[in-house]
């Protein structure tokens, strides 16, 4: 018999803020965390906007000396993980506890800095912390080391699906009996000249100079995504393990689906067939029909192809019920956090589910006939949604969907 998996802790660092109260206020106000790039001088560049993280360690969870040995991507992950662990009320550790923490790129700021250093002083003078700061898996390792988790420690690297795949793999590890607790999510910190320049050269980023019209998922005038940064961590726990210690439960994970387009290295597969199949896998595992889906946290990158393709996938999934569930993309508020996007967006979904407030699709103005969905256009919209899918799709054709159901006392039976 498969075991049930619940979410008992949330921790995050995001462009809108770093606690649930701030995020709920943003949902009600329709706030947007996008602004002028301040991490470096982008005033002469084509791309001048991003969704940066501010004041990310107000609680001083990492001492100054340790920070100097960590890339920003590792710092975000560790802070989010510590917050999630504390939020869960856990005090246990050991071999039954694991980590599943994804990152699409890893320590890109460190790579850029050390490349410049090598040009200036030679490759023999690189920092001894270069490799530990740069490799993608080290954020997962930091969490395991900090919390004493000796079960499996994994780092899914599936581009922008990394965070959602990390949640899904953590869910499977518990469901199939390998672990009792998993800290899972994603982290990214790539707002630097190398990261923004690389995506800009692909024509993937918006060149809008207006923060309120740069990331506009499903809007007819969308022209590319906006780079974001941050980290999100969820504590997943086997149901009986959580109940035994009297844990507060946010939601139950009831389905996960993952596929690969196996087509183009950057463009989604025409028609959204494999994205649809990932969602269908999650829905079938959940044992629910299209009529029972209340909300979709869409991948919704604000790129012409992605939003159109995701719409086609949802139309195929939901059929005549396509206008029933509410749909929004958190990227309208926080840009695209790449490998962290799925984790932070799942957390935003659960914050909204708990408060019965739908995450809005802000700054939408121009309807697109090819993206006719039931979008959440009203900030602060109250709606007691009980089921939700969170989607993530990445370069290389990686598709991942995770299905949540709100936890209620009757679910204990």
Instruction: Residue 265: count other Cβ atoms within 10 Å of its Cβ.
Output: 8
Can you spell out the DSSP letters for 385-404? Answer: --EEEEEEEETTTEEEEEEE
Helix (H, G, I), strand (E, B) or coil at 165: helix
Helix (H), strand (E) at residue 235? strand 230-238
User: ∠20-24-26 over CA atoms, to 5°?
Assistant: 120
32, 160, 184, 371: the catalytic one is 160
What gap in Å lies between CA 302 and CA 118, rounded to an integer? 37
Cα dist from 159 to 265, 339, 399, whole Å: 11, 6, 10
Cα dist from 33 to 220, 237, 288, 309, 385, whole Å: 21, 31, 34, 26, 25
CB 190 within 8 A of CB 229: yes
Cα dist from 342 to 231, 256, 336, whole Å: 10, 13, 10
Active site residue 39: no
18, 241, 299, 398: the catalytic one is 299
Active site residue 150: no
Active site residue 260: no
Phi first, then psi: give them for residue 43, nearest 5 degrees. Answer: -65, -20
Active site residues: 160, 299, 336
């Amino acid at each position: 018999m498969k075991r049930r998996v619940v979410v008992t802790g949330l921790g995050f660092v995001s462009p809108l803020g770093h606690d649930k109260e701030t995020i709920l206020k943003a949902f009600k106000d329709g706030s947007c965390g996008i602004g002028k790039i301040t991490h470096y001088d982008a005033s002469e560049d084509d791309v001048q906007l991003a969704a940066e993280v501010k004041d990310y360690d107000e609680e001083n969870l990492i001492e100054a000396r340790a920070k100097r040995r960590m890339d920003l991507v590792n710092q975000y992950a560790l802070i989010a993980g510590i917050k999630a662990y504390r939020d869960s009320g856990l005090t246990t550790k050991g071999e039954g506890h694991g980590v599943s923490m994804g990152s699409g790129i890893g320590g890109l700021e460190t790579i850029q800095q050390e490349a410049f250093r090598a040009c200036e002083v030679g490759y023999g003078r690189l920092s001894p912390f270069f490799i530990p700061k740069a490799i993608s898996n080290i954020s997962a390792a930091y969490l395991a080391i900090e919390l004493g988790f000796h079960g499996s420690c994994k780092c899914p690297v599936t581009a922008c699906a990394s965070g959602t795949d990390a949640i899904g793999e953590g869910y499977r590890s518990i469901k199939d009996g390998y672990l009792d607790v998993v800290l899972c999510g994603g982290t990214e910190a790539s707002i630097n000249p190398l990261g923004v320049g690389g995506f800009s050269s692909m024509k993937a980023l918006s060149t809008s100079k207006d923060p309120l019209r740069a990331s506009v998922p499903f809007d007819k005038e969308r022209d590319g995504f906006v780079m974001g940064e941050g980290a999100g961590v969820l504590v997943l726990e086997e149901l009986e393990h959580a109940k035994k210690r009297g844990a507060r439960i946010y939601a139950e994970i009831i389905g996960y689906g993952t596929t690969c387009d196996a087509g183009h290295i950057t463009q989604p597969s025409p028609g959204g067939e494999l994205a649809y199949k990932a969602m269908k896998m999650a829905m079938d595992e959940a044992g629910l029909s299209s009529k029972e889906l209340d909300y979709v946290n869409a991948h919704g990158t604000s790129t012409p192809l992605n939003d159109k393709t995701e719409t086609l996938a949802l139309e195929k999934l939901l059929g005549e019920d396509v206008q029933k569930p509410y749909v929004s993309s958190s990227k309208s508020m926080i840009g695209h956090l790449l490998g962290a996007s799925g984790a932070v967006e799942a957390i935003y979904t659960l914050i909204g589910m708990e408060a019965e407030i739908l995450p809005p699709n802000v700054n939408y103005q121009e309807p697109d006939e090819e993206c006719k969905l039931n979008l959440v256009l009203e900030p602060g919209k109250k709606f007691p949604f009980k089921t939700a899918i969170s989607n993530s799709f990445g370069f290389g054709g990686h598709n991942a969907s995770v299905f949540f159901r709100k936890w209620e006392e009757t679910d204990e039976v």
